[in-house]
Structure 1
Amino acid sequence: MRNVLISGAGVAGGTLAWFLAREGWAVTVVERAPAPRAGGQAIDVRGVALDVVDRLGLGDRMRAVRTRMRGMSMVDGDGQELFRSEDHTFSSGRLDSDDIELLRDDVVAMLLEASDVEYVFGDSITALTEEAHGVRVEFEHGGFRTFDLVIGADGLHSVVRRLAFGPEEEFTRHLGQYLAIFPAPNFLGLEDWQVWFRHENVGGAVYPVRDNTELRVTLGFGSDPLPRHDVEGQKRLIAERLGGLGWEVPKLLEAMAAADVFYFDAMAQVHLDRWSTGRIALVGDAGYCASALSGQGTSLALVGAYVLAQELGRASHEEAFAAYERRMRPFVALNQALATENPQGPASEESVERAKNAISLA
C-alpha cells in the first residue's frame, strides 16, 4: 500500500486525506498545533467547491450549519451608518446564492471526524530527504519515517515549502494589509446581521455566530510588511492602529485583549513556478494562497485537494503532479485576481462568478 504524509490538518489537508484514503492510500497527517485549531473567520464554499463537499459526503451537514445573515451595515469610525443592504454581505456575496458560508472550525472538525486516517498533533517536519523510492521525513519531536509522497498543506507559512522549495520571502507577495480575527461574546446583541466599519486605512467587521451567542471579530489595518511579533505584540499593533476610533471599537479592543483564541497575519499571496519537486507537492495556501481578501481560499483548498487526489488515483506521481498543475493553474490565477481587482472592497460579482466555476472536476 502506498503511503503519504500530509503536513497540515486544515481544510486542504483534511480534504486531501479523505480522498486519498478512499483511493487506497495509507495517510498520515501531521499538524504542529496540539489540537484542531479553533477560531477563525466564517469561510465560503462556492461554485465548483460545492461539488467537492458533496463528494466528501459533507454537503448537507455544512448547509445545516451555514450562517444565516439577513444583511449588513457599513459605518464610519464614529458609528455613523453609511449604507446597509439586505441583498448581500461583503463576506458571502448575494444572500440568495447557493454558496455556503460557515465557520472554518466547523469545516475542520467535520473533515477530521470523516477521515479514517492517522492524525499526529503537536509535531512538525524538520527535514525532508528524497531517497530512491521515497522521502525520509524527520520530525521536531524526534525520529524519522519514510513515505512514498509528502504533501504540504500547511498554509501561507508552509514548512514543507520552505524545506523543499526555498525561503518564504521568495514566493510571497504582500498585499498591504494585516488582519486579526478572534471570538467574543455577543455584547452588541447582533441578530444574523453583519456590521462593517472603516476609517481611512483601518477597519473591520463584526458578525454573530452560534445562534447569535458569539461574535467573530475581524480588525485590520493597511501597512507595508512589518517584523514578526508574538501574540501580545500583535494585539498591541492592532490596539495602536485602531485606538482612536469611536463606535464600539474600544469594546472590541477590550475583547481582543482578553481573547484566548487569536489569529493575526499579513494578507499575502503565494506564487510559485511549480507546485511539486520530486515526490513532494503543495496544495491550498501552501502552494497558491489567494488571501482572505479573495474570498476563495477555502474553495481553492477544497478543489485543489480533490484534483490532486483524483490525479494521484490515475497515474504515477510524476504524471499526477503535472496534470494537477495543468488543471489548477487557470483556476488559481482567476481566484487570486479577486484579491487584487479592487483593493478597497470586494471584487465584482461578474469576476467572482467567473472565477468560482472556472474548472471541471471530471
Structure 2
Amino acid sequence: MKNILISGASIGGPALAYWLRRYGFNVTVVERYRGIRPGGQAIDVRGPALEVIERTGLGDQLRSFSTNMRGMSMVDEDGNEVYRSTEHTLSGGDLSSPDVELLRDDLARMIFDAVEGVEYLFDDTITSIDGNLVTFEKSAPRSFDVIVGADGLHSNVRRLAFGPESQFISHLGMNLAVFTAPNWLELDHWQTFQQSGDVGGGIMSARANAECRVYMGFNGEVDYDHRDVEAQRRLIAEKFADAGWVWQTALKHMWEAPDFHFDAMAQIRMDSWSHGNVVLLGDAGYCGSPLSGQGTSMALVGAYVLAGELRDGFGTAFQRYEEILRPYVTANQDMALKNQANGGAPTEEFAEVVNSLTLPRY
C-alpha cells in the first residue's frame, strides 16, 4: 500500500485525501494551522466540480450550506443605492444557475468530516524534502511515496521542490481582506458593494443572516508579509482611513475578527506541476485568483483527477493529471484576466469555460 503525504488541509487537500482513501492508499495530511482554518470568502462550486461532489455523495449536504442570496446592490459613499439585481450577485454570479455558493470554511469542514482513516498532523509543517524523506518542524522524519503540495498561493511545498515563489507568481494589482462580523446592517440574504477610487468592497449576510462576511480591498501592489496578520490589519485600516459609507464601522469589527484573512490577487503559472515524486494541487500549482471564480472548483476537480490517475498507476499519473487538467486550468486563468479587464464582472464566455472539462470516470 502506497503512502502519500498531503500538505494543506483547506479544500483541495482533504478532497484528495477522500479519494485516495477510497482507493486504498495510506494518507497523511500536514497542516500549519492548529485545525481546520476558519473564515474565508464565499466560494462557488460549479460545472464538473459539482459532479465531483455528487460522486462523493455529498451533493445534498453541499446545497444545505448554500448562502441562498436573493440579490445584490451597489451604493455610493453616502449609502445611496445606484444599482440592484435579483438575477445575479458579484460573489456568486447567475442566481438561476445550478452553481452552489457557500462559505469556504463550511465546505472545508464538510469534506474534512467525510474523510475517514486519514492521519492529520496539525500545527506542523514540512521543513525539507529529500527524495522520499520528509522532515517536519515538530513530527519525526518519515518517508512517503508521493508528496502533494495543496498548501495554497504561498505554497511551502512548491518553494522546497520547485524554487522561490517569485518565479511563478503574477500579481494582478489588487488586494483583498475578508473577515466575519455581526450582521449590523441587518442584510437579509443580500450583499451590498461600494467602490470609491482605489478602495472598496462589500458586505454579505451569512449563515441565515446570523452574521456577515466583509470584503475590503484596494488596488495597487504592496509589499507585505503573508503571515503577519496584525500588519495586514494595519494596512487595511490605513487604506480605508478616509473611506465613506459604513467602512469605519467595518474597521472596528475588523480589529475584533478572529478569522481575518488578507492576500493579493495573483496567479500561479508553471510549466510543470510535478517534480520527482512531488506534485502540486489547486492554488499551489495553478491559482487563478478570486477573479476567476473558479479556484475552489479547480481544486476539487484537480483532487479527483489526481487521485484517479494515481489509482491507475504511479508511472504516468502526474503526466496524465496535467494532460487532462491543464487546458481547463489555462482557460480559467485566462478568463480571470478577461474578467479583470471587464471590471471584475464575468465575461460572456464564463459558463462555457466553467463547463469546458468532461470529467473522467475512475
Superposition TM-score tier, normalisation by shorter sequence? over 0.9
For residues 219-230 of structure 1, the aligned pairs below 5 Å read 219-228=216-225, 230=228
2:346 aligned partner, one-letter code? A
Identify unmatched segments of 5+ residues in structure 2: none
Q: Is the counterpart of residue 214 in structure 1 residue 215 in structure 2? A: no
Q: SS of the residue aligned with 1:336?
A: helix
Identify unmatched segments of 5+ residues in structure 1: none
Conserved in 2, the CA contact under 8 Å of 1:12 and 1:153? Answer: yes
Conserved in 2, the CA contact under 8 Å of 1:78 and 1:245? Answer: no
TM-score by length of 1: 0.96
Q: Is the counterpart of residue 181 in structure 1 residue 178 in structure 2? A: yes
Conserved in 1, the CA contact under 8 Å of 2:292 and 2:339? Answer: no
For residues 298 and 16 of structure 2, the distance between their equivalents in structure 1, rounded to whole angstroms, comes to: 12
Q: Which residue of 1 aligns with 2:153?
A: 156
Conserved in 2, the CA contact under 8 Å of 1:204 and 1:220? Answer: yes
For residues 321-336 of structure 1, the aligned pairs below 5 Å read 321-336=318-333
Q: Which residue of 1 aligns with 2:12?
A: 12
Shift of 1:191: 0.4
Shift of 1:142: 4.3
For residues 206 and 72 of structure 2, the distance between their equivalents in structure 1, rounded to whole angstroms, comes to: 14
Shift of 1:210: 1.1
For residues 182 and 124 of structure 1, the distance between their equivalents in structure 2, rounded to whole angstroms, comes to: 25
2:89 aligned partner, one-letter code? T
Shift of 1:226: 1.7
For residues 1-362 of structure 1, the aligned pairs below 5 Å read 1-116=1-116, 117-130=118-131, 135-228=132-225, 230-316=228-314, 318-343=315-340, 344-348=343-347, 350-362=348-360
Q: SS of the residue aligned with 2:186?
A: coil
Conserved in 1, the CA contact under 8 Å of 2:291 and 2:339? Answer: no
Q: SS of the residue aligned with 2:316?
A: helix
Residues 328-360 of structure 1 deviation map (CA, whole Å, 9 limit, x = unaligned)? 111001111222103222221x32111111112
Conserved in 2, the CA contact under 8 Å of 1:62 and 1:107? Answer: yes
For residues 334 and 346 of structure 2, the distance between their equivalents in structure 1, rounded to whole angstroms, comes to: 9
For residues 236 and 82 of structure 1, the distance between their equivalents in structure 2, rounded to whole angstroms, comes to: 30
Q: How many residues align?
A: 356
Residues 17-53 of structure 1 deviation map (CA, whole Å, 9 limit, x = unaligned)? 0001111100001101011100111110001110001
For residues 352 and 119 of structure 1, the distance between their equivalents in structure 2, rounded to whole angstroms, comes to: 37
Conserved in 2, the CA contact under 8 Å of 1:181 and 1:263? Answer: yes
2:309 aligned partner, one-letter code? E
Q: SS of the residue aligned with 1:342?
A: helix
Shift of 1:76: 2.2
Conserved in 2, the CA contact under 8 Å of 1:44 and 1:299? Answer: yes
Shift of 1:225: 3.5
For residues 247 and 24 of structure 1, the distance between their equivalents in structure 2, rounded to whole angstroms, comes to: 54
1:313 aligned partner, one-letter code? R
Conserved in 2, the CA contact under 8 Å of 1:174 and 1:225? Answer: no
2:274 aligned partner, one-letter code? S
The sequence identity of aligned pairs, in percent, is 53
1:266 aligned partner, one-letter code? A
TM-score by length of 2: 0.96
